[in-house]
């Protein structure tokens, strides 16, 4: 036993246990997120129950739990039909259930608002379409929905693009008018008259398109379907408000798999709806990836250059030691402090100065003097710079001094030694710093809440309008999306599935970006490892 303690076996077992516990905790986190996230989009059976009092209810059974101080279980139904019941979920005790059925004709509607609808299809009304007598109501609904989608992505989509283009033109004309007025140009000036005439032409074209769009929407609003819930209450739903409809009790495994894939596609490439609790997450995914990319452009070069100076050029002394202590302490400062600094320095300081210098005609409406993806990226860049500095300096410090002396002895300058020998050898460690910086930046939310992130961004930071990249725009972020729907949503229970899905998506993005960086780091390590001998 004494030999066991003397050899330090207890330390080996202790460190192994700590590593095992850490891996188990990480694995548990991932498993919990995957289990609760992957099954959200699988089409569950629709259950219809008849209660002992004669009432009926229909929906998906979400979970079961034991009745408190009683016998049996109670079931949580997702009954949807929020426009009829005012709620999404309902608990029913098994003792209150007289009969349970899984009707084949049960229909689930995913709608633009009011959540899912559970019921039966009664009839379809479509003045623009001609149905044959042999077509069932389900076939009629399929044809009507196909017609509506064609119109929405065809003529209506073209009209929406024209309106977007005219809005961009209007914004540019108004900016020119404001600039001339700010310079003191009188109202009757020729340039102003030309701009006003151009604006009038744009307005007339805009109104013409709005009239066409309204006519198209009115025509589509006449395509309707009538449904009935379990109690027989009828509801007329415009087909244009139906995102997706299906009968899960009739779906085969292949159809359910196809449905699941289509939902995943919508999640990644679709737009959010229902206060971000339904639909896709493309704006949040795009904003998260772009934020990390812009942050890396700042923190990576700045951190590497600072570490090179501290390790290779600065003379050791109290000042350098003080700087190193400050850098290490900066890595532990709460992120909200960086957010306050970013708001004061970047948004109000630099952004306000840019507005006063280049956009004075737009004041007091700010252009860069308000939150945006540029300022959020710079704030996160400062937050992660200490991580890059520490990792780079440690990587440079691990290179033997003899390598530097040998390179200098062969006639290379200090700059050549740094660029051709030291940096390639330290590149795996530098990439480690970048990986840690990206992983931390991807999960930070507090600084973003006051430097540019929003619940719903009307436009992406990159689009087809000049100058194509709009760094002054606000953006969406997956981390803030989780906070918003998980804690700020008026219907938290209904938003819970999307919380797990968004969390899983954020974890996957971090893993993918980190995996790419790790792959590059390993390639660098294999390529330059021979130089350490």
> For residues 306 and 308, what is the distance between their CA atoms, to the nearest angstrom?
5
What pLDDT band is residue 474 in, cutting at 50, 70 and 90? Answer: very high
pLDDT at 480 over 70: yes
pLDDT at 69 over 70: no
> For residues 197 and 73, what is the distance between their CA atoms, to the nearest angstrom?
72
**Bigger pLDDT: 140 or 88?**
140
Mean per-residue pLDDT, 217-222: 89
pLDDT at 348 over 70: yes
> For residues 400 and 220, what is the distance between their CA atoms, to the nearest angstrom?
74
Mean per-residue pLDDT, 42-47: 91
What is the token pair recorded at 7? 């050899």
Mean per-residue pLDDT, 412-431: 87
Q: For residue 206, give the H/E element and its range.
A: helix 190-221
Residues 6+ away with beta carbon under 8 Å from 70 = 93
Mean per-residue pLDDT, 517-533: 70
Collapse the DSSP code of 110 into the 3-class scheme (helix H, G, I; strand E, B; otherwise coil) and give the result.
strand
> For residues 383 and 385, what is the distance between their CA atoms, to the nearest angstrom?
6
The pTM of the full predicted model, rounded to 2 decimals, is 0.87
> For residues 439 and 157, what is the distance between their CA atoms, to the nearest angstrom?
38
Mean per-residue pLDDT, 220-232: 91
| Residue given tokens 């009926």 in the structure block | 56
pLDDT at 355 over 80: yes
* SS3 annotation, 37-106: HHCCCCCCCCEEEEECCCCEEEEEEEEEEECCCCCCEEEEEECCCHHHHCCCEEEEEHHHEEEEECCCCE
Range from 82-91, 201-210, 472-481 carrying the lowest mean pLDDT: 82-91
Q: What is the pLDDT of residue 1?
A: 61
Tens digits of residue pLDDT in 440-454? 888 888 899 999 899
Pick the most confident of 66-70, 373-377, 491-495, 528-532: 373-377
pLDDT at 44 over 70: yes
What pLDDT band is residue 70 in, cutting at 50, 70 and 90? Answer: low
Mean per-residue pLDDT, 27-50: 86
Q: Report the chain's mean pLDDT, rounded to a whole number.
A: 87
What pLDDT band is residue 532 in, cutting at 50, 70 and 90? Answer: very low
What is the token pair recorded at 352? 């306000």
% of the chain exceeding 90 in pLDDT: 31
Long-range CB pairs of 155-163 (<8 Å, 24+ gap) are 155/216, 156/213, 156/216, 156/217, 156/220, 159/209, 159/212, 159/213, 159/216, 160/213, 162/209, 163/206, 163/209, 163/210, 163/213
> For residues 370 and 376, what is the distance between their CA atoms, to the nearest angstrom?
11
What is the token pair recorded at 165? 């283009």
Q: What is the pLDDT of residue 529?
A: 61
Phi, psi torsion values for 457, nearest 5 degrees: -90, 125
pLDDT at 5 over 80: no
Q: Where are the beta strands (DSSP E) in 271-326?
A: 272-273, 278-279
């Amino acid at each position: 036993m004494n030999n066991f303690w003397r050899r330090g076996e207890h330390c080996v077992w202790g460190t192994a246990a700590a590593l095992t516990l850490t891996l188990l905790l990480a694995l548990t986190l991932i498993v919990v997120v995957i289990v609760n996230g992957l099954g959200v989009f699988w089409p569950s059976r629709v259950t219809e129950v008849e209660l002992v009092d004669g009432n009926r209810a229909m929906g998906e059974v979400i979970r079961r739990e034991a009745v408190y101080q009683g016998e049996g279980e109670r079931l949580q139904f997702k009954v949807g039909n929020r426009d009829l019941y005012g709620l999404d979920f309902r608990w029913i005790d098994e003792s209150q259930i007289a009969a349970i059925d899984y009707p084949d004709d049960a229909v689930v509607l995913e709608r633009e608002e009011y959540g899912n609808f559970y019921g039966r299809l009664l009839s379809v009304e479509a003045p623009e379409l001609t149905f044959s007598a042999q077509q069932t109501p389900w076939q009629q609904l399929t044809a009507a929905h196909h017609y509506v989608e064609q119109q929405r992505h065809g003529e209506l989509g073209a009209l929406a693009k024209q309106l977007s283009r005219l809005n961009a033109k209007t914004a540019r004309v108004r900016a020119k008018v404001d600039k001339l007025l700010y310079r003191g140009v009188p109202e009757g000036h020729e340039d102003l008259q030309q701009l006003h005439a151009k604006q009038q032409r744009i307005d007339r074209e805009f109104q013409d398109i709005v009239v066409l769009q309204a006519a198209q929407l009115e025509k589509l609003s006449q395509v309707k379907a009538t449904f009935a819930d379990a109690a027989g209450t009828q509801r007329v739903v415009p087909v244009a408000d139906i995102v997706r409809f299906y009968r899960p009790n009739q779906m085969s495994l292949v159809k359910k798999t196809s449905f699941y894939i289509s939902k995943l596609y919508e999640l990644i490439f679709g737009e959010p709806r229902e206060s971000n609790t339904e639909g896709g997450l493309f704006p949040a995914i795009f904003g998260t990836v772009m934020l990390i990319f812009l942050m890396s452009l700042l923190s990576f070069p700045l951190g590497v250059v600072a570490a090179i100076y501290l390790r290779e050029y600065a003379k050791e002394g109290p000042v350098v030691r003080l700087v190193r202590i400050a850098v290490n302490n900066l890595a532990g400062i709460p992120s909200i402090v960086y957010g306050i600094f970013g708001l004061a320095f970047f948004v109000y300081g630099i952004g306000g100065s840019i507005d006063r210098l280049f956009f004075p005609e737009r004041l007091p409406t700010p252009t860069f003097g308000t939150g945006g993806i540029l300022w959020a990226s710079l704030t996160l860049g400062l937050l992660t710079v200490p991580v890059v500095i520490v990792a780079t300096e440690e990587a440079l410090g691990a290179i033997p001094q003899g390598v530097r002396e040998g390179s200098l002895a062969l006639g290379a300058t200090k700059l050549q030694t740094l660029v051709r020998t030291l940096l390639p050898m330290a590149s795996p460690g530098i990439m480690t710093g970048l990986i840690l910086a990206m992983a931390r930046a991807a999960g930070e939310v507090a600084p973003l809440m006051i430097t540019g992130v929003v619940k719903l961004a009307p436009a992406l930071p990159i689009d087809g309008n000049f100058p194509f990249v709009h760094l002054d725009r606000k953006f969406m972020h997956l981390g803030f999306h989780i906070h918003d729907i998980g804690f700020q949503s008026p219907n938290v229970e209904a938003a819970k599935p999307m919380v797990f899905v968004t969390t899983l998506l954020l974890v996957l993005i971090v893993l993918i970006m980190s995996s790419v960086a790790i792959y590059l780091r390993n390639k660098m390590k294999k390529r330059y490892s021979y130089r350490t001998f």
